[in-house]
Amino acid sequence: MPAAPMNDAVHLRSDGVSLVLDTTGPRLPRIAYWGADLGELDPSDVRAVVEAGRPPTVLNLMDEEVPVGVLPEAAVGWVGTPGLSGHRGGRGFSPLFDLVAVDVPDGDDATAGALRILGRDSALEVDLELRIALLPGSGLVRLSATLTNTGTSEYVLERLQLSLPIPAEAAELLDLTGRWTRERAPQRHAFTLGTHLREGRRGRTGTDATLLLVAGESGFGFRSGEAWAVHTAWSGNHVHAAERLPTGVSLLSGGELLLPGEGVLAPGESYTTPDVYGSHGHGLDAISARFHRHLRARPGHPRTRRPVVVNTWEAVYFQHDVDKLTRLADAAARVGAERFVLDDGWFRGRRHDAVGLGDWDVDPDVWPDGLHPLVDHVRGLGLEFGLWVEPEMISPGSALALAHPDWVMSTGDRLPPLSRGQQVLDLANPAAFEHIAGRLDALVTEYRVDYLKWDHNRDLVDGGHPTTGRAGVHDQTLAVYRLLDGLRRRHPGLEIESCSSGGGRVDLGVLERTDRVWASDCLDPLERQQIQRWTGLLVPPELVGAHVGGARAHTTGRVQDLPFRAITALFGHLGIEWDLDAALDADPAAVEELTRWVALHKRHRDLLHSGVVVRSDHPDPATWVHGVVSPDGAEALYAVVAMATSIVSPPGRLRLPGLRPDRRYRVEAVWPDGVPEPRRILPSWWAAGIELTGAVLATAGVQVPQQKPEQACLLHVTEVTAGTARTTEITGVTDDPRRAREHP
């Protein structure tokens, strides 16, 4: 890795993005530009980009330029939030790094576009290594840093937060918040002077975590407006911030939120930040697509078709009965499921949610022969077998807690308040870690478990090490990563879902070692439309668990028809969480209809789980349009969703984004096997389909059915090539095509 010439600048380019780094020294490099691709630039042009961005010196500010680097420093005159905060016994509170080296890789290998920057504060006796990469294939910026204590006394690190500059055009902020069963609610406001700070202090990512903090042009949407976003790839306490000073400097930043004492570095010790990612694009879809491409390029990304899941939770809850679960497995196979997941309630004493956690042995009272009868039956049906676990938690009355009360996370002099009747197991304790790792390994080995639904149902309040009384969230997060990594090494075919009170642990840190996230415990499709839409800003559809529940949603009480439930779940990793055994007796026609929806999902699964996610910026909040377009632009599947009663009727033309503008496409309604779907007033083109160019579909759009609230329909779009046959099977269409009551 050769050194970049000092007193120069570096231009990185990838996938429509440019990043210009000013390495002229003597201070840490700063990002002089991050945004749309600037094209090929010779070295003099790159230096000119840096020079063109230098601000003039104005009265009552520093007499020299204030270089705001990836790590902003107060010592150079930066009066915003410093990137590094720490001290040695109260001294050395204001670091000032000299630039030692900038290493740039050569060649076109996978590391191309990555820089390693070394800085040193000789007076404070700390070294800093910054890593900046513009990732090939996605165009994401990835930042990380390592701080090393080179002195002879402790250095108390309080904050190490990395920043990316954004221009004045970024006039509006968008982030996400939420709660249990209402994750991923967007909120927007002007990007004013000052700091917009989002801290996560739950010890896990959190149902209210923003996932992305986005700054963009006023009114930016999914398909319009230039925007910039950051994400911190960390599953513990974290921070995101947007900061704008009266000087006009604006930053987006992210990092770990260290609790008091978590950053104490002994002589020779180092601290490494989580990765902070930056994404730029025109519209949120472009920002989102970069994260999706990055995740799909992971070596561990699932390469097989995502199996349709049946999960037992809402079917039986804690009332486990071998005969009942066997019949449920039969019903799962009947509707076309490919994986059967036994949820909470299988282990010793677990008849409700306040007992049993930590005692990871099969309950002999419910399962006298162990899980083998059920597992063997499931495998005999051709289904994979999955199991629910919550290994980071412990119930106070469990045998494990009674034997090892010192394994419960606490401040040392008191226990944290209970949540769901449970506490947190201190996995940074080597004995506790080895015990849980051994139990999980034994379960996966004995039952040949294909899939673990890994839950995490409470925040880490007072999350400390009981033997020392020191804060322990940082150590706990790293221990969980080691636990996941070790289990996957021992069982290479094992898949793991990140579930955490629903969508409480969704981030790129946990996704480096899991295969799916559970977006929410809410299966109400109306709520799920929003939850999945905004979870999809970061996570592609094949990694988002989306289940069809029963007609009445258990968390909201709403009653919705099966097509709305199925279409909502179609655009994810499809699953079913419904008592199909009881449904076969009460409403066998609904189960047969579900079978057809599962078959429809399988027909389009390759597209849904590999294509580009697109969302339309329709002005009416009552009507949403979203879809997936194949990477080659030859095929797409869109959902048109009536979220509420609209002020207009019919909804008017709807644009179908993401298609190649110069290609010709055929648009057809799609429904399982031509089954009648009532209660729609249809446009004239609906029965026979229509052909239009991608430019027309994205700009002028098409009329769609008039739908009642909480209804949805599907449009299948395919490229028209020479010799394409135009055959359409129409079932049950009335004489008046405007009032046809069935889909072709």
* Surface-to-core class of residue 282, CB atoms within 10 Å of its CB (0-12 exposed, 13-18 middle, 19+ buried): middle
Buried b (16+ CB within 10 A) or exposed e, 189-212: eebeeeebebebbbbbbbbbbbbb
Structure tokens, 1 = 């890795």
Catalytic, 587? Answer no
**Structural contact between residues 717 and 692, judged by C-beta atoms closer than 8 angstroms:** no
Question: Which DSSP letter does residue 481 get?
Answer: H
Segment holding 401, helix H or strand E:
helix 399-403
Q: Per-residue b/e over 349-368, b at no fewer than 16 CB within 10 Å? A: bbeebebbbbbbbbbeebbe
Please name every residue paired with 84 in a beta bridge, in sequence order, or none if there are none: 160
| CA–CA dist 130, 70 (Å, integer) | 9
- The residues that bridge with 87 in the sheet, in sequence order, are 156
DSSP state of 97: P
Q: Looking at residue 502, what DSSP letter applies? A: T
- Taking Cα atoms as reference points, which of 524, 520, 534, 516 lies closest to residue 573? 516
b/e code 555-571 from CB counts within 10 Å (16+ = b): beeeebbbbbbbbbbbb
Least Cα distance to 535 among 522, 554, 551 occurs for 522
Cα–Cα dist 625/686, whole Å: 17
Q: Which residues contact 309 (CB under 8 A, 6 or more apart)?
A: 337, 338, 339, 340, 341, 386, 545, 547, 573, 574, 575, 576
365 belongs to the catalytic site: no
b or e along 227-236 (b: 16 or more beta carbons within 10 Å of the residue's beta carbon)? Answer: bbbbbbbbbb
Q: Beta-carbon neighbour count of residue 701 at 10 Å? A: 18
Q: How far from the centroid of its chain's Cα atoms is residue 731's Cα?
A: 41
Q: In what order do the strands lie in the sheet with 623-629?
A: 612-615, 623-629, 635-642, 711-719, 664-670, 690-693
Task: Single out the catalytic residue among 22, 275, 455, 459.
Answer: 455
Which residue has tokens 């991050």? 34
Q: List own/partner pairs for 325-331 with CB under 8 A and 24 or more apart.
A: 325/374, 326/373, 326/374, 326/377, 327/581, 328/579, 328/580, 328/581, 329/374, 329/377, 329/378, 329/381, 329/383, 330/381, 330/581, 331/580, 331/581, 331/583, 331/584, 331/591
How far apart, in whole angstroms, are the C-alpha atoms of residue 278 and residue 339? 36
Q: Given the residues 462, 521, 524, 581, select the one marked as catalytic.
A: 521
- Residue 164, burial from CB neighbour count under 10 angstroms (0-12, 13-18, 19+): buried
Catalytic residues: 455, 521
